[in-house]
Chains A and B, each alone.
Chain A
Amino acid sequence: MKFSTRIAAVATTAAAALALSACGGAATDTSPGDGGSGDTAPIKIGIIADRTGATGDVGTPYNDGMLGYIDWINAKGGIKGHQIDADSNDYAYLVPRAEELYKKYVNDGAVAIQGWGTGDSEALRTKVAADKLPFMSASYAEPLTDPKQSAYNFVVAPTYSDQMRVALNWIAKDAGGKAEVAVFHNDSPFGLAPVADGQKWVTEKGLNLGYKAYPMPKTPNQVGLLTQAKSQGAKYIVIQNVSSPAAQVAKDIKAQGLDMKIVCLNWCSDELFIKTAGADNAEGHVMVQPFAPPTAEKPGHKVIDDYLKSKGSSLADKGLHYAQGWYTMDVMAKGIEKALDAGGELTGESIKKALESVSVDTGGVVGAGTVSFTADSHRGSTGTGIYEVKAGQMVELAANQTPES
Chain B
Amino acid sequence: MATATGIHHRTYRSELRLRHTKAEYFRLALMLVLLLAAPYVLDKYWLGIANVILISVIGAVGLNILVGFTGQISLGQGGFLAVGAFTSVIISDRAGVPVPISIAIAVLMTAAVGAFFGLPALRLKGLYLAIATLASQEIIMFVVRRWEWLTEGKGYLEVERLHVGGFQVERQMFEVQWYWILLALATLAVVVARNLFRTTLGRSFMAVRDQDIAAEAIGVNITRAKVTAFAVSSGFVGLAGALTAHYTETVTWERFTLDVSVLYLAMIIVGGLGSIAGAVYGAIFMGLLPALLTELVDVLGSSLPSLSDQLPALRNAVFGIAIIVFLLVEPRGLDRIWTRMKDYVRFWPFRY
Tell me the A residues contacting B by CB distance below 8 Å: 1-2, 4-6, 8-9, 13, 16-17, 20-21, 23-27, 51-53, 89-92, 94-97, 99-100, 103-104, 106-108, 119, 122-123, 125-127, 130-131, 187-189, 192, 196
Contacts and interface: CB of A to CB of B under 8 A. Distances in A.
Given A23-B46, A119-B254, A104 B34 contact: no
Contacts of B249: 123, 126-127
Nearest to B31: A13
Interface string B1-32: 01010000000000000000111001100100
Given A13-B30, A192-B153, 19 more contacts: A1-B346, A4-B346, A6-B23, A9-B23, A13-B34, A17-B34, A23-B42, A23-B43, A90-B309, A95-B250, A95-B252, A96-B248, A97-B312, A99-B248, A100-B52, A107-B45, A126-B161, A126-B250, A189-B154
Nearest to B291: A100
Contacts of A53: 312
A347 B311 CA distance: 30
Contacts of B174: 130
A91 B48 CA distance: 17
User: Main SS of chain B's interface residues?
Assistant: helix
Contacts of B319: none
A121 B190 CA distance: 35
B42 to A, nearest CB: 5
Q: How large is the interface on B (under 10, 10 to 19, 20 to 34, 35 or more residues)?
A: 35 or more
Q: Which A-B residue pairs are the 10 nearest by beta carbons? A: A107-B45, A189-B155, A92-B312, A5-B23, A123-B250, A130-B171, A192-B155, A103-B48, A23-B46, A24-B41
Nearest to A122: B156
Contacts of A24: 41-43, 46
B290 A100 contact: yes
Interface string B163-203: 00000000100100000000000000000000000000000
A96 to B, nearest CB: 6
Given A2-B22, A6-B26, A119-B156, A25 B43 contact: yes
Nearest to A21: B41
Contact of B43 (A6, A8, A26, A97): A26
B38 interface: yes
Contacts of A23: 42-43, 46
B302 to A, nearest CB: 13
A210 B4 CA distance: 82
Given A6-B23, A187-B145, A196-B153, A123 B252 contact: yes
B309 A94 contact: no
B127 interface: no
B342 interface: yes
B93 to A, nearest CB: 13
Contacts of A187: 145
Nearest to B48: A103
